[in-house]
A and B are shown apart, each in its own frame.
Chain A
Amino acid sequence: MRILIVDDSEANRELLGWVLEGEEHTLFFACDGQEAVNSFDNHNPELILLDIMMPIMDGFEAAEIIKSKSQGRYMPIIFLTAVTDDEALAKGLAVGGDDFMLKPFNEIILKAKIKAHSRILELNNLVTTKNKELTNYKNIIEHEHQVAEHVFQSALRRNRTDYEHIEYYQSPATTFSGDLLLAAPGPTGSMYYLMADFTGHGLPAAIGAVPLSQRFFELAEWGRSISGMAKAINLSLLEILPDTMFCAATLVEQKSNGRDFTIWAGGLPDAYIVSEKGDICHTVRSDHMPLGVLEEDEFEIDVQILRIEETSSLFIYTDGLTEAINKEGTMFGEEKLETLLTKPEWNISRIIDTHTQFMGEEQPDDDVTLVRIISQPLPEFETTESYQLGAFNIPWKISSHLDANALQMSNPVDELIEMMAGYNNLSEHRDYLHTILSELFNNALEHGILELDSKQKQTEDGYLEYYLERETRLKGLESANVTIQIEHPQNERKFIIITVTNSGKGFDYEHIEPATDDDSYGRGIPLIQSLCQGLEFSDKGRSVAVTYTLQ
Chain B
Amino acid sequence: MTVSSNLSQDNNELVISVSGKFDFTQVKSFRDAYTSNLDSSNDTSDDMQYVVDLQETEHMDSSALGMLLNMRKHLGDSVKISITNTRPQIKKILTISRFDKKFSVQ
Contacts and interface: CB of A to CB of B under 8 A. Distances in A.
Interface of A: 187-188, 190, 223-225, 228, 256, 428, 431-432, 434-435, 438-439, 442, 457, 459-460, 463-464, 467, 470, 517-521, 523-524, 526-527, 530-531
A178 to B, nearest CB: 31
B27 A467 contact: yes
B53 to A, nearest CB: 8
Contacts of A432: 89, 92
A188 B66 contact: no
Contact of A520 (B28, B70, B93): B70
Contacts of B74: 460
A496 B67 CA distance: 30
Interface string B7-33: 000000000010100011001100100
Interface string B73-106: 1100000000001111110110011100110001
A531 B93 CA distance: 9
A431 B89 contact: yes
Contacts of B89: 428, 431-432
Given A225-B56, A530-B96, A457 B101 contact: no
A521 B23 CA distance: 13
B28 A517 contact: no
Interface string B47-71: 0000001011011111101110110
Contacts of B93: 435, 527, 531
Contacts of A435: 59-61, 93
Contacts of B58: 431
10 contacts: A224-B56, A225-B55, A225-B56, A442-B63, A457-B66, A520-B67, A520-B73, A523-B66, A526-B96, A531-B96
A406 B27 CA distance: 23
Nearest to B95: A530
Interface of B: 17, 19, 23-24, 27-28, 31, 53, 55-56, 58-63, 65-67, 69-70, 73-74, 85-90, 92-93, 96-98, 101-102, 106
Contacts of A527: 61-62, 65, 93, 96-97
A519 B97 CA distance: 11
Contacts of B70: 459-460, 463, 520
Contact of A223 (B23, B24, B55): B55
B87 A187 contact: yes
Contacts of B101: 517
Contacts of A223: 55, 85, 87
A65 B87 CA distance: 82
Contacts of A470: 24
A463 B27 contact: yes
Contacts of A520: 65-67, 69-70, 73
A300 B90 CA distance: 29
Nearest to B91: A188
Given A431-B59, A435-B61, A464 B73 contact: no
B56 A438 contact: no
A256 B19 CA distance: 21
B81 to A, nearest CB: 14
B23 to A, nearest CB: 7
Given A431-B59, A442-B24, 20 more contacts: A187-B87, A187-B88, A223-B55, A223-B87, A224-B56, A225-B53, A431-B58, A431-B90, A435-B59, A435-B60, A438-B59, A460-B31, A463-B67, A467-B24, A518-B73, A520-B73, A526-B97, A527-B97, A530-B96, A531-B93
Nearest to B28: A464
A252 B75 CA distance: 33
Contacts of A463: 27, 66-67, 70
Contact of A523 (B23, B24, B85, B97): B97
Contacts of A519: 69
Contacts of A188: 55, 85-87
Given A432-B89, A530-B96, A531-B96, A523 B65 contact: yes
Nearest to B88: A187
Contacts of B56: 224-225, 228
A313 B37 CA distance: 34
Contacts of B86: 188
B8 to A, nearest CB: 9
Contacts of B17: 225
B69 A224 contact: no
A252 B93 CA distance: 28
Given A225-B56, A431-B89, A527-B96, A517 B31 contact: no
Nearest to B35: A460
A428 B28 CA distance: 29
Contacts of B98: 517
A263 B31 CA distance: 29
**Top 10 A-B pairs ranked by shortest CB distance?**
A431-B89, A520-B66, A520-B69, A524-B62, A438-B61, A523-B62, A530-B96, A434-B59, A460-B70, A225-B55
